[in-house]
């Protein structure tokens, strides 16, 4: 199988983010031949259509980073039953300028963790609706609702529960499958 590079976006800029820990865990669990790289969003200013004529370099870099990877995993907390504003802001940058939407056709997956029992399910439904609008093929199953119990993932991304580690590895394998299906169908069309 071809080596693949998968980008990930962390929808939290908290210095103690449990979703960043989850992203680090995914990085560690990536299957052979798959490299996970972060696509940072913390330095993006607020999006405004005023920027459309001349995107700032940081936003150009953000869009280029999405273009450079084979797929994107969005790892996000839930804020007030939706996604955090910092993530929505990044997605707004991705969607413009008109006709240059970064997620159009880009394989994506969403996953998240919170201490609560619903484990970001409501936020992920909102996020999937946004990605659908962008025409991004999105992983349907398995769904990545990770309840963040104390000590589940260490600061350096080690998953202490075997069942959770196996689930995350299976999740990454399933996403690889989606990426391969999307990219190989594109190669057939191009041939
Ligand atoms: C403004 C705000 C709104 C939140 N709303 C929810 C929510 O709707 N559902 C939920 O499960 N947790 C909610 N939380 C708790 C977060 O899931 C928790 O703070 C989590 O640690 C955030 O992820 P992070 O550590 O990766 O930043 C909220 C937290 C904040 C700060």
Residue closest by Cα to atom 25 of ligand 1:
17
Strands 71-75 and 4-10: parallel
Distance CA 163, CA 77 (A): 21
Taking the C-alpha atoms of residue 39 and residue 42, their distance in angstroms, rounded to an integer, is 10
Q: Token pair for residue 59?
A: 């936003």
95 Cα–ligand 1 center, Å: 25
* Helix/strand/coil (H/E/C) assignment for every residue in the chain: CCCEEEEEEECCCCCCCHHHHHHHHHHHHCCCCEEEEECCCCCCCCCCHHHCCCCCHHHHHHHHHHHHCCEEEEECCCECCECCHHHHHHHHHHHCCCCCCCCCCCCEEEEEEECCCCCCHHHHHHHHHHHHHCCCCECCCCCEEEECCCCCECCCCCECCHHHHHHHHHHHHHHHHHHHHHHHHHHHHHC
Q: What is the CA radius of gyration of the chain?
A: 16
Residue 75: is its pLDDT beyond 80? yes
**pLDDT category of residue 29 using cuts at 50, 70 and 90:** very high
Question: Mean pLDDT across the stretch 80-107?
Answer: 98
Give tens-digit pLDDT for 38-60: 999 999 999 999 999 999 999 99
Paired sense of beta strands 34-38 and 108-114, if any: unpaired
Q: How confident is the model at residue 96, as a pLDDT?
A: 98
CA of 25 to the centre of ligand 1 (A): 19
First-to-last alpha carbon distance for the chain, in angstroms, is: 19
Among 13, 77, 147, the mutation site with the greatest number of ligand 1 atoms within 8 A of its Cβ is 77
114 C-alpha to ligand 1 centroid (Å): 6
Q: Is 102 in the pocket of ligand 1 (CB under 6 A)?
A: no
- Chain-centroid distance, C-alpha 64: 15
pLDDT recorded at residue 26: 98
Alpha-carbon distance of 108 to 25, in angstroms, equals: 18
Q: What is the pLDDT of residues 117-154, one digit of tens each?
A: 999 999 999 999 999 999 999 999 999 999 999 999 99
pLDDT digits (tens, 9 = 90+) for 160-182: 999 999 999 999 999 999 999 99
Whether 124 lines ligand 1, by a CB cut-off of 6 Å, is no
d(CA 26, CA 112): 11
Cβ of 114 below 6 Å from ligand 1:
yes
pLDDT at position 84, please?
98
Q: Given a cut of 80, is residue 188 above it in pLDDT?
A: no
Distance (Å, rounded) from C-alpha 104 to C-alpha 89? 17
Q: Per-residue pLDDT for 1 more than 70? A: no
């Amino acid at each position: 199988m071809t080596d693949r590079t998968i980008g990930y976006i962390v929808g939290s800029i908290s210095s103690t983010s449990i979703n960043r820990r989850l992203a680090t865990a995914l990085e560690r669990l990536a299957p052979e031949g798959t490299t996970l790289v972060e696509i940072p969003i913390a330095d993006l200013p607020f999006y405004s259509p005023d920027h459309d004529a001349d995107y700032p370099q940081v936003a150009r870099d953000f869009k280029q980073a999405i273009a450079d990877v084979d797929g994107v995993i969005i790892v996000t907390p839930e804020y007030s039953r939706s996604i955090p504003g910092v993530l929505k802001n990044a997605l707004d940058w991705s969607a413009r300028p008109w006709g240059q939407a970064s997620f159009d056709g880009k394989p994506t997956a969403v996953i998240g963790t919170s201490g609560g029992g619903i484990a970001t399910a409501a936020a992920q439904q909102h996020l999937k609706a946004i990605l659908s609008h962008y025409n991004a093929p999105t992983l349907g199953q398995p769904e990545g609702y990770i309840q963040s119990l104390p000590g589940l993932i260490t600061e350096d991304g080690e998953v202490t529960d075997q069942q959770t580690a196996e689930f995350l590895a299976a999740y990454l394998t399933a996403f690889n499958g989606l990426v391969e299906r999307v990219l190989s169908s594109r190669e057939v069309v191009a041939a």
